[in-house]
Amino acid sequence: MKLALHWKIIIGLVLGVIYGIIGALNGWGTFTSNWIAPFGTIFINLLKLIAVPLVLASLITGVASLSDLRKLSRIGGKTIAIYITTTVVSVTIGLVLVNVLKPGHKVPADMREELQRTYQTDVQSRTEMAEQAKQRGPLQPIVDMVPSNFFGAASSNRNMLQIVFVSILIGVGLIQVSKEHAEPVLKLFEGFNHVIIRLVDIIMLMAPIGVFALIADTINSVAKDNLAQVVELLSALGYYCLTVIVGLFFHTTMTYPMLLKLFTNMKIKTFFQGIAPAQLVAFSTSSSGATLPVTMERCEENLGVSEEVSSFVLPLGATINMDGTALYQAVAAVFIAQALNLGLDIGAQLTIILTAVLASIGTAAVPSAGIIMLVIILEAVNVPSAGIALILGVDRILDMLRTVTNITGDATVATVVASTEGQLRPPTMDSRKDRIRIHAEQ
Ligand code: ASP
């Protein structure tokens, strides 16, 4: 029997955890960094390598295939509205949980002081980064979307919104010129698109090994050959972690299925089965940006979302829609306030909702970006940003989990938008092969 991809990745993940723990117990840190970690880096690099060409090719062909530009603005408006709504819901879930469970009151005082001492320098660098982010003017995010040089935009995966902008621009241009001029360009990008989707499949063959290496290395760098310390940290911050995890779990398994039920005919099981490999990659890379090619491929091939919708909704989502991050930021902000015995009135809680939604939009789709933006939220409600020292030690673990929620949210919205636009095919596991066959027959 042929094992499904997500099972192979799960096996890689479990073996990675086992290896990581054994390695940490036996002091194999250097061996792991030298001989295991590079395979994880290669896997992430391969995914990142195809992200820009994938978005470029699929969005250009997607936009150019729209006969009517009004449709693009309708899809855009709908997408952004659902993205913001789901983020507000997730922040609210986080706030309710943290206010009810009060994890901040459960941190022992001596542990609090020790944590603040240990992470003092880390806090400083995070605060400086947040300061830079804060000094930007109100319209700067819009200015940042418009690149002054094409290759400049394509030179870094962090510029994903610029790539989205350029692709839409080229797509619009293609609609405006004569068929004779548009066709060769379009054919080139269409062909390119097929090649890249195929490459995602090939790269995913390496996923079980990549995931094994990434997890082993994460445990290695978190534990630093001292697993007992991690266990101690987890027990002190266990309540806080649990609050974030319960919130993420609730949002992922209740809010998203509810949206799918309301707007699509898709079975919830089909959705989660289809998206599972992307969730596992998100978990092991902690980066929705690196996971983007897999999310796009799974949505198109396994969930039946049209390329037109997925190529627009998903890159946008990877950049601005981070429900998991927003939920975590809300819980973390209140947790720190509770631990430092600072009361937050209803006004402060509303400020957290607003700033967490905005901060999650501004959070980069890379590991640990969420904690930098957390500093801005803390300052907005007058909680000392040095308080992040309390949670830095367990941040990586929560980062892995919130990234899973982030990409699940993107995939849900893509499915919902496709369904409401009449662009959701019945999902078939073999649709790519069908498409290649149809293409070959043409
Ligand atoms: N790692 C998250 C992501 O890429 C962002 C964060 O919350 O740090 O989605």
3-class secondary structure, 313: helix
Low-confidence ranges of the chain (pLDDT < 50): 430-442
CA of residue 274 to ligand 1 center, whole Å: 22
What pLDDT is attached to residue 27? 87
Atom of ligand 1 nearest to the CA of 403: 9
Q: Is 367 in the pocket of ligand 1 (CB under 6 A)?
A: yes
What pLDDT is attached to residue 45? 92
Structural domain that includes position 397: 5-441
What pLDDT is attached to residue 369? 86
Q: Smallest Cα–Cα separation from 87: which of 424, 420, 380, 362? A: 362
Q: Smallest Cα–Cα separation from 244: which of 389, 381, 93? A: 93
Q: Smallest Cα–Cα separation from 79: which of 442, 423, 439, 426? A: 423
Q: Is 365 in the pocket of ligand 1 (CB under 6 A)?
A: yes
CATH code assigned at 72? 1.10.3860.10
H helices present in 237-267, as ranges: 238-250, 256-263
Burial class from Cβ neighbours inside 10 Å (0-12, 13-18, 19+) for residue 217 reads buried
3-class secondary structure, 328: helix
Q: Smallest Cα–Cα separation from 59: which of 141, 161, 143? A: 161
What pLDDT is attached to residue 432? 47
Q: Is 410 in the pocket of ligand 1 (CB under 6 A)?
A: no
Q: Is 279 in the pocket of ligand 1 (CB under 6 A)?
A: no
Q: Is 62 in the pocket of ligand 1 (CB under 6 A)?
A: no
Q: Is 288 in the pocket of ligand 1 (CB under 6 A)?
A: yes
What pLDDT is attached to residue 67? 66
What pLDDT is attached to residue 1? 56
State the distance between the two ends of the chain, measured CA to CA, in whole angstroms: 34
CA of residue 204 to ligand 1 center, whole Å: 21
Mutate to test the pocket of ligand 1, among 406, 408, 410 (most ligand atoms within 8 A of CB): 406
The total of other beta-carbon atoms located within 10 Å of residue 149's CB is 9
What pLDDT is attached to residue 236? 77
Query: Please, how many CA atoms are within 13 Å of residue 238, restricted to the half-sphere of its CB?
Result: 7
Q: What is the amino acid identity at position 266?
A: M
Number of structural domains found in the chain: 1
Atom of ligand 1 nearest to the CA of 286: 1
Q: Is 407 in the pocket of ligand 1 (CB under 6 A)?
A: no
Atom of ligand 1 nearest to the CA of 289: 4
Q: Is 126 in the pocket of ligand 1 (CB under 6 A)?
A: no
What pLDDT is attached to residue 434? 41
